[in-house]
Structure 1
Amino acid sequence: MKHRLCLALLASTVIAGAASAEDVTLTIESWRNDDLSIWQDTIIPAFEAANPGIRINFAPTAPAEYNAVLNSKLDAGSAGDLITCRPFDASLELYNKGQLADLTDLAAMANFSDVAKSAWQTDDGSATFCVPMASVIHGFMYNKTAFEELGLEPPKTVDEFYAVLDKIKEDGSYIPMAMGTADQWEAATMGYQNIGPTYWKGEEGRKALIEGTQKLTDEGWVEPLRQLARWQEYLGDGFEAQTYPDSQNLFTLGRAAIYPTGSWEIGVFGPQIEGAFEMGAFPPPVAAEGDTCYISDHTDIAMGMNAKTAHPEEVRTFLDWVGSAEFATLYANALPGFFAMNSTPVEMENPVAQEFVSWRESCEPTIRSTYQILSRGTPNLENETWNAGANVITGAETPEDAAARLQEGLASWYEPQQ
């Protein structure tokens, strides 16, 4: 009897060992430490329920430290199995060093457009190394309550845009538009990159700049700077000293009627303005009625495979799921304003997020013009555009002079522009 009991215990131990050996734990490296509870409570349980035997450990690093920490871990061979990818050059460098695996043949890649994948591809587009997760869309938020008080409708054309701003300014109850130039980047990110695609025609102009067939002194690139110069009279007193948090506060406190921005503010602003006023959004105005609408639907976050993972098949299973409509729906609703790039439409609950994403149906998407290839040299075109945008708004530089300076800087190191 004792002998049979020992055999039974031994057998159960072997079976338990075999079962645990089959369980694989995959670790995700990420800079989104504010997402930890969302991954633990919503995303990971959904995956694990459908994929028994694969466990997921979400292990984020503080955003400012992520690049350095990740690079150190990858060099030391201690990085997690899954790598959350920043757009363009930072991730491309990891791929070129052999630290991110080629995922071109992953089945889920068929669920994404070329624009969606462009932030995580080689320059020639021959290899894709991260699965797109989310983008952010540029546009204008507005105070619906203020618009109703003043009898205003969201503008569709540039002329209507300035007519609305003039009426708000004339009334005097609200600052027409909340934006400052103290931090500079807002002028470029929320100004130039917001309205610019309308004038350089989105991907057509962006790719032409990379190819060298258009220059920053061409009309399509100078006109957005001229538009920014016109914004000066609508930004309120002291905008030159106004920081990004100042602008956010002016809008959320109901003191400004319009806020040039992007969808990333939705989750932040929603709780702050709840009960105070209703928030709406409108896309960048077109130059004239009937013109094609363009939006900056900027690729922001993706996920790739550590090339040295011990569990490549399990990682590919997870990444195929990240590329699915199920994941897209979970992620987009957990983080309103971070939009799935999956080709399958996602039903979202947040009404302002629904408004932003609806523009994809009628507008041509593009990405920020400075992010791919054109900011690899010195002077850095992205950072120089911050300064140029702020300068034309304050009047420190004419749009034409700013464009000429940007072109000269780019041509000084980028061969196709020489």
Structure 2
Amino acid sequence: MTKTFRFALLASTLLGGAASAQDVTLTIESWRNDDLTIWQDTIIPAFEAANPGIKVVFAPTAPAEYNAALNSKLAAGSAGDLITCRPFDASLELYNQGHLADLTGLAAMANFSPVAKSAWQTDDGAATFCVPMASVIHGFIYNKDAFDALGIAVPTTRDEFFAALDKIKADGTYIPMAMGTNDQWEAATMGYNNIGPNYWKGEEGRLALIKGEQKLTDAPWVAPFEELARWKDYLGDGFEAQTYPDSQNLFTLGRAAIYPAGSWEIAGFNAQAGFAMGAFPPPVAAAGDTCYISDHTDIAIGMNAKSPNAEAAKTFLEWVGSAEFAAMYANALPGFFSLNSTPVEMQDPLAQEFVSWRGKCQSTIRSTYQILSRGTPNLENETWNASANVIRGSEAPADAAKRLQDGLASWYEPQK
């Protein structure tokens, strides 16, 4: 063996060893730029400590720019290894275009229920392409001081709910409920899809609507509008012009007793409200009835199908599907609840109250989000408008339901 050959062999061996010792760096694309500190200070260090050799960089884009920016990066081949997934159609389209890998075979997928996975699956459920991270839960947040002062018990039935509203209104100290109709979406999201699942029996009704076995003009879908029409008397003067931030301020300043809510409000309300708060799920018709909650799938994470670091990315995704990640993420962001089947004990008492409802109520997701808003007119957007109209009294519940049904039937074959 010549000296030159021995030197070349040694150099090759050393270079190969150096390459294998290098860390793999994974980049995460996300729209949650408000989470940056949590990822950098808590989540990523925990993963890297348990997985030496894999580095992770969290590189978010502003929420309004995320979809366009991500699509451009994917088209150019410059997107990160891990893709934070919005629920339903936006991520499904990425999968159908070949941008997201099929993750059905990940062992961690066994840790999630069919409802948890439904936002990131093909319509037939055959492929799951993102690991579920968190959901938001709907219900009502209330001012405990107001309830105590007026001697009001937390309502569990609809009669008790309206009796409480009547008592608050008669006293006059507080606006009974803080919600406006100016922005419309709250009327549907914290109104119709908050109370509705108790009427259409959650997943039973939602799936029946998708299959064409129920219609939006059927009683379980009209009844929530009829209840919303009763809300008008309790929302305070000028609610028609009241914006979403106006409603938040009315409640956190202590001027309103009840707030129809999404759990994403928890962190902000904790910081702004100077009074004790509690929460209760949507009241049922009668004591002992099965209760249903909107436990809406919100955020997940998938793998760029063209990632050069697929094995390291899968290692990260298996960890995201673990009970360790679930507890860490849910407590770092109270109000964004783990979708993992392993229960997570929340450190924030208000967040714990919301998530405890999973143990006594059936979970479902917003009725308009899967499949039914792919056409024109868009059922989600039309439900915003219909819900606001019904609360304002400018559209009768039955008329609103018929308009939504006619719109859906105009393009969705199972409803024709």
CA separation in 2, counterparts of 1:250 and 1:389?
A: 21
CA separation in 1, counterparts of 2:341 and 2:110?
A: 9
Residues 261-317 of structure 1 deviation map (CA, whole Å, 9 limit, x = unaligned)? 1100001110111xx210110000001111100000000000000000001111110
Change (3 A) 1:11 1:404: closer
Residues 203-231 of structure 1 deviation map (CA, whole Å, 9 limit, x = unaligned)? 00000000000000000000000000000
Q: Specify the alignment match of 1:134 in structure 2.
A: 134
- 1:56 aligned counterpart, secondary structure: strand
Q: Specify the alignment match of 1:371 in structure 2.
A: 369
Q: Specify the alignment match of 2:3 in structure 1.
A: none
CA separation in 2, counterparts of 1:16 and 1:38?
A: 34
- 1:122 aligned counterpart, secondary structure: coil
Moved over 6 A (4+): 9-13
Q: Specify the alignment match of 2:328 in structure 1.
A: 330
Q: Specify the alignment match of 1:258 in structure 2.
A: 258
What is the identity, as a one-letter code, of the residue corresponding to 2:263? Answer: S
Q: Specify the alignment match of 1:228 in structure 2.
A: 228
Alignment of 1:254-293 (within 5 A): 254-273=254-273, 276-293=274-291
Per the TM alignment, residue 12 of structure 1 is displaced from its structure 2 partner at its CA by: 11
What is the identity, as a one-letter code, of the residue corresponding to 1:303? Answer: I
Q: Does 2:162 align with 1:162? A: yes
- 1:127 aligned counterpart, secondary structure: coil
Residues 136-181 of structure 1 deviation map (CA, whole Å, 9 limit, x = unaligned)? 0000000000000000111000000000000000000000000000
Per the TM alignment, residue 17 of structure 1 is displaced from its structure 2 partner at its CA by: 2.4
What is the identity, as a one-letter code, of the residue corresponding to 1:406? Answer: L
Q: Specify the alignment match of 2:49 in structure 1.
A: 49
Per the TM alignment, residue 10 of structure 1 is displaced from its structure 2 partner at its CA by: 7.5
Per the TM alignment, residue 240 of structure 1 is displaced from its structure 2 partner at its CA by: 0.3
Residues 358-413 of structure 1 deviation map (CA, whole Å, 9 limit, x = unaligned)? 00000000000000000000000000000000000011000000000000000000
Q: Specify the alignment match of 2:399 in structure 1.
A: 401
Residues 173-205 of structure 1 deviation map (CA, whole Å, 9 limit, x = unaligned)? 000000000000010000000000000100000
Pairs aligned (count): 410
- 1:59 aligned counterpart, secondary structure: strand
- 1:365 aligned counterpart, secondary structure: strand
What is the identity, as a one-letter code, of the residue corresponding to 1:385? Answer: T
CA separation in 2, counterparts of 1:170 and 1:409?
A: 40
What is the identity, as a one-letter code, of the residue corresponding to 2:383? Answer: T
Q: Specify the alignment match of 2:388 in structure 1.
A: 390
What is the identity, as a one-letter code, of the residue corresponding to 1:99? Answer: H
Structure 1: which 5+ residue stretches go unaligned?
Answer: 1-5
What is the identity, as a one-letter code, of the residue corresponding to 1:392? Answer: V
What is the identity, as a one-letter code, of the residue corresponding to 2:361? Answer: C
Q: Specify the alignment match of 2:4 in structure 1.
A: none
Q: Specify the alignment match of 1:357 in structure 2.
A: 355
Equivalent of 2:307, from 306, 309, 327? 309
Q: Specify the alignment match of 2:175 in structure 1.
A: 175
What is the identity, as a one-letter code, of the residue corresponding to 1:246? Answer: D
CA separation in 2, counterparts of 1:152 and 1:28?
A: 47
- 1:358 aligned counterpart, secondary structure: helix
Per the TM alignment, residue 16 of structure 1 is displaced from its structure 2 partner at its CA by: 7.1
Equivalent of 1:345, from 339, 343, 346? 343
What is the identity, as a one-letter code, of the residue corresponding to 1:340? Answer: S
- 1:170 aligned counterpart, secondary structure: helix
CA separation in 1, counterparts of 2:148 and 2:17?
A: 67
Q: Does 2:19 align with 1:18? A: yes
CA separation in 2, counterparts of 1:271 and 1:181?
A: 25
Per the TM alignment, residue 55 of structure 1 is displaced from its structure 2 partner at its CA by: 0.4
CA separation in 1, counterparts of 2:55 and 2:94?
A: 25
Q: Does 2:241 align with 1:241? A: yes
Per the TM alignment, residue 11 of structure 1 is displaced from its structure 2 partner at its CA by: 10
CA separation in 2, counterparts of 1:10 and 1:209?
A: 67
- 2:176 aligned counterpart, secondary structure: strand
Residues 86-126 of structure 1 deviation map (CA, whole Å, 9 limit, x = unaligned)? 00000000000111000001000000000000000000000
Q: Specify the alignment match of 1:37 in structure 2.
A: 37
Alignment of 1:77-226 (within 5 A): 77-226=77-226
Measured on the aligned residues, the alpha-carbon RMSD in Å equals: 1.6
What is the identity, as a one-letter code, of the residue corresponding to 1:18? Answer: A
Q: Specify the alignment match of 1:58 in structure 2.
A: 58
What TM-score do you get using the length of structure 1 for normalisation?
0.96
- 1:354 aligned counterpart, secondary structure: helix
Residues 310-338 of structure 1 deviation map (CA, whole Å, 9 limit, x = unaligned)? 01111110000000000001100100000
- 1:368 aligned counterpart, secondary structure: coil
- 1:294 aligned counterpart, secondary structure: strand
- 1:154 aligned counterpart, secondary structure: coil
CA separation in 1, counterparts of 2:269 and 2:14?
A: 54
Equivalent of 1:299, from 270, 288, 297? 297
CA separation in 2, counterparts of 1:279 and 1:240?
A: 26
- 2:103 aligned counterpart, secondary structure: coil
What is the identity, as a one-letter code, of the residue corresponding to 1:109? Answer: M
Q: Specify the alignment match of 1:3 in structure 2.
A: none
Identity of matched residues, %: 78
What is the identity, as a one-letter code, of the residue corresponding to 1:288? Answer: A
Q: Specify the alignment match of 1:74 in structure 2.
A: 74
What TM-score do you get using the length of structure 2 for normalisation?
0.96
CA separation in 1, counterparts of 2:208 and 2:12?
A: 68
